[in-house]
């Protein structure tokens, strides 16, 4: 930045000063604004100019509140609680590498101004956070968003972790898919797509993709994809697939075996509020959900002795088989 800026940017600098240095507990007097203009931006001006530009900003819709004790910017793009939520989301997201985590948190912190930094004292040693080092994560998101917008097919490689804890490309050629939507589920981004040679939806983890390439070919119409004739409802997909398996959701019924009332929170957390709940005479509860049988299989095992599946029968038998195999594995009869 030059030592002195032209006065035609004065109004922008005054807005920046209010954004960075003011809040309800830290009001700025005109003398302080004049001092900051000179020391930070090299702009010299009179009190009348400051007052006039504050009025211009107020007329433009900026909520600058002024009284005898000073003035401050009362409304920002984000409230402190909103910024804290966004920062913690970035911090806890394993897919965002450490360098991007630092950059994003710095950008978000700037939106809160100088005094917001007290809310970010917990952002300390990033080495203590589990973070993937795939720095193409955001590039993947941007490329997929562009392909979805242009309605064109894409190709990519899929990667998996090896014993060295690094991602390695799966053997085989690139996958050819029709991209439709992006879905954030369980802290991970998934590409909702269709593999060109099949007729069902598939869900690919964005952080596991590499070498995404656009093809000059239009995506397969949703009318040709199973159960997508009326479009894709991300809300229903999220509720019906607690884990992002690709099988067809069906009606699943189960009951609680112990501590029945305590399971209501868990069921609603995973499946949303479209769940049908019936209280039984013994004090337990019966639940009916539309969900993926494969995903439900893992979900039921997670809660072990607290839940029992009633239907469909194939799922019941699959769980019984798994319990027998687990018993053998742990030395049971």
Residue extents of the structural domains in the chain: 7-73, 80-128, 148-232, 250-329
Q: Check whether 31 has a pLDDT greater than 60.
A: yes
Q: Is the pLDDT of residue 298 over 70?
A: yes
For the domain spanning 250-329, the CATH number is 3.30.70
Ramachandran class of 27: left when φ > 0, alpha when ψ lies in -120 to 50, beta otherwise:
beta
What are the pLDDT digits (tens) for 76-110?
888 888 888 898 888 888 888 888 888 888 888 88
Q: Are 152 and 164 in contact (CB under 8 A)?
A: no
Least confident of 42-46, 50-54, 161-165, 295-299: 161-165
CA distances from 280 to 31, 202, 255, 256 (A): 71, 37, 9, 10
pLDDT range class, residue 261, cuts 50, 70, 90: low
pLDDT of residue 3: 52
Q: In sequence order, which residues have a C-beta less than 8 Å from that of residue 129 and are 6 or more positions away? A: 91, 92, 94, 98, 101
Check if the beta carbon of residue 207 is closer than 8 Å to that of residue 188.
yes
Note if the pTM is more than 0.85.
no
Residue 2: pLDDT band (50, 70, 90) is very low
What is the chain's mean pLDDT, rounded?
87
Q: Which single residue is written with the structure tokens 């954030």?
A: 184
Report the alpha-carbon distance of residue 273 to residue 89 in Å, rounded: 24
Q: How far apart are the first and last CA of the chain?
A: 77
Do domains 7-73 and 148-232 share one topology? The answer is no
Domain 148-232 carries which CATH code? Answer: 2.30.30
DSSP class of 262 = G
pLDDT digits (tens, 9 = 90+) for 33-63: 999 999 998 888 899 999 999 999 999 999 9
Query: 227 falls in which pLDDT band (50, 70, 90)?
Result: confident
Read off the pLDDT of residues 118-143 as tens digits, 9 standing for 90 and up: 777 777 677 778 777 777 888 999 99
Segment 108-119 shows an average pLDDT of 82
User: Residue 206 — pLDDT band, cuts 50, 70, 90?
Assistant: very high
Q: Which CATH number fits domain 7-73: 3.90.550.10, 3.40.630.10, 1.10.10.10, 3.20.20.70?
A: 1.10.10.10
- Cβ contacts of residue 157 below 8 Å, gap of 6+? 169, 170, 174, 175, 209, 210, 211
């Amino acid at each position: 930045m030059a030592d002195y800026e032209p006065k035609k940017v004065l109004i922008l600098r005054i807005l920046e000063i209010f954004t960075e240095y003011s809040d309800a507990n830290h009001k700025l007097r005109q003398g302080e604004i004049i001092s900051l203009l000179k020391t930070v931006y090299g702009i010299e001006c009179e009190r009348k100019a400051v007052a006039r530009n504050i009025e211009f900003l107020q007329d433009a819709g900026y909520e600058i509140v002024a009284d005898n004790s000073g003035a401050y910017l009362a409304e920002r793009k984000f409230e402190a609680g909103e910024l804290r939520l966004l920062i913690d989301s970035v911090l806890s997201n394993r897919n965002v590498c450490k360098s991007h985590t630092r950059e994003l948190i710095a950008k978000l912190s700037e939106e809160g101004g100088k005094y917001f930094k007290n809310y970010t004292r917990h952002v300390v040693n990033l080495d203590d956070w589990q973070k993937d080092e795939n720095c193409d994560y955001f590039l993947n998101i941007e490329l997929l968003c562009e392909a979805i917008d242009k309605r064109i097919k894409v190709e990519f490689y899929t990667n998996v972790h090896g014993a060295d804890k690094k991602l390695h490309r799966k053997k085989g050629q690139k996958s050819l898919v029709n991209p439709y939507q992006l879905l954030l589920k369980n802290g991970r981004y998934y590409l909702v797509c269709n593999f060109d040679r099949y007729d069902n939806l598939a869900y690919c983890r964005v952080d596991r993709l590499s070498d995404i390439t656009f093809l000059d070919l239009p995506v397969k119409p949703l009318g040709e994809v199973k159960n997508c004739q009326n479009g894709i409802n991300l809300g229903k997909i999220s509720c019906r697939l607690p884990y992002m398996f690709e099988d067809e959701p069906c009606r699943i019924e189960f009951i609680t075996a112990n501590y029945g009332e305590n399971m209501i929170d868990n069921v609603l957390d995973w499946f949303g509020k479209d769940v049908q709940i019936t209280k039984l005479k013994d004090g337990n509860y019966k639940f009916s959900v539309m969900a993926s049988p494969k995903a439900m299989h893992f979900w039921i095992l997670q809660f072990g002795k607290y839940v029992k599946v009633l239907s469909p029968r194939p799922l019941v038998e699959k769980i019984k088989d798994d319990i027998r195999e687990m018993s053998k594995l742990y030395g049971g009869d």
